[in-house]
Amino acid sequence: MNDYGTRTDPHAQARAARQTPLLLHSLSCFREVFEVVYAHRPISTVVEVGVESGQVSGIYTELGARAVYCVDPAPTESLRAAIAGNPALHLVEERSPDVLPHLPVADLYVLDGDHNYATVRAELAWVLANAPDAVAVLHDVLWPCSRRDQYYLPSRLRPEDRHPSSSEGPTVWHDELTRAGFVGLGAFTCAQEAGGERNGVLTAVEDALTEGWQLAIIPAIFGVGVVTRDEALLDALRPYRDSRLLYTLENNRIALYTRLLQLQFDAVAHAENADSMAETIAAQRRELDRLATEAADLRAEADELRRQNERLRAQLDERPATLADRVLRRQ
């Protein structure tokens, strides 16, 4: 239940806000949506493709699932520990396109693994063909992955299933990729161009849909799509699906966050420029010090030469005049 604060505790909401990640991205935020799904059909078996930390996996069991198959080809040790702590969770260390046919047919499929057209379409097409009574929930159906592929590194896709990609990332402030955008930092790359055919998660979902299946989009936290044939479930999701309020809040969220990324990039660039300038100034100061030392050495050498010249003149003055005259005449 939301805590809006009281007259005696007016800061409750602020405390909750401080505990919220700067960038919300987890499906755990959609618990109440999963509650609606569970309320409209019995969910005993779940197949989860792409496992965050085990937290969301646990939610499926809390809501009533008896078995959750957590598909992740490269789990972390913390994820292994989280799954091992819940007997209803089963870790499957294989790639989803290969392993789906070998798992029990599920009541709920949660697809939040790779975010590219080829993988998502293959996953969803298999579900729709082999689990006609299931519900499929897909994450990241909206910006930035809706119409632009992301490729995790190293990519196992065939070359023909990949678009030309870049380590730069998208931003809402212009259409081109940028180093100041939503970058993968070595974890993934993005298709250089957005749109067109066979590009992006939402495009994959649209192309995979077959007769009788419908897509409900909840426009929050990068977008969640619910694919189902259950009209009653679609009606129950109506307060969330295509909500103009949620859509506006999400657009504001991604605009603010990508603006923050730009400011962060600019700050780092400014710091790097300042460091470079400081290094240049230090190098110039060292060069000035070297030149000053060299000038001092030259002055000392000139002084010594003057002293030597004065000694020579003094010696000449002390010599007999005839010798001095001969020397002067030669000069």
* pLDDT above 60: residue 13: yes
pLDDT the model gives residue 80: 95
* pLDDT above 80: residue 331: no
Q: What is the pTM of this model?
A: 0.84
Quote the percentage of the chain above a pLDDT of 70.
96
Answer left, alpha or beta for residue 28, where phi above 0 means left and psi between -120 and 50 means alpha: alpha
Burial class (CB in 10 A: 0-12, 13-18, 19+), 24: middle
pLDDT the model gives residue 155: 85
* Per-residue pLDDT band at 323 (split at 50, 70, 90): low
Name which of 203, 237, 242 is nearest 135 in CA terms. 237
Mean of pLDDT values over 295-309: 93
Q: How far apart are CA 304 and CA 309, in angstroms?
A: 9
Name which of 132, 2, 108, 5 is nearest 49 in CA terms. 108
* pLDDT above 90: residue 278: no
**What's the CA angle centered on 128, arms 220 and 116, to 5 degrees?**
50
Ordered domains of the chain (ranges, CATH): 12-147+195-242 (3.40.50.150), 149-193 (no CATH)
pLDDT the model gives residue 320: 65
Contact 144, 184 (CB under 8 A): no
* pLDDT above 90: residue 261: yes
* pLDDT above 90: residue 315: no
Q: What is the pLDDT of residues 161-173, one digit of tens each?
A: 999 999 999 999 9
Query: Which range (23-32, 135-144, 291-300, 314-323) has the least confidence?
Result: 314-323
pLDDT the model gives residue 109: 99
Mean of pLDDT values over 298-309: 93
Q: What is the pLDDT of residues 45-103, one digit of tens each?
A: 999 999 988 889 999 999 999 999 999 999 999 999 999 999 999 999 999 988 999 99
* Per-residue pLDDT band at 318 (split at 50, 70, 90): confident
* pLDDT above 90: residue 277: no
* pLDDT above 90: residue 110: yes
Mean of pLDDT values over 30-39: 98
CA 8 to chain centre: 40
Mean of pLDDT values over 260-267: 96
pLDDT the model gives residue 204: 99
Residue 26: what residue type? S
- Which stretches does DSSP call E strand in the chain? 45-49, 67-71, 89-92, 108-111, 135-139, 150-152, 165-166, 169-171, 174-178, 188-191, 214-218, 224-228
Q: What is the pLDDT of residues 126-158, one digit of tens each?
A: 999 999 999 999 999 999 999 999 999 878 899
Pairing of strands 214-218, 224-228: antiparallel
Q: Concatenated DSSP letters for 39-61? A: HHS---EEEEES-SSSHHHHHHH
Q: What is the pLDDT of residues 165-211, one digit of tens each?
A: 999 999 999 999 999 999 999 999 999 999 999 999 999 999 999 99
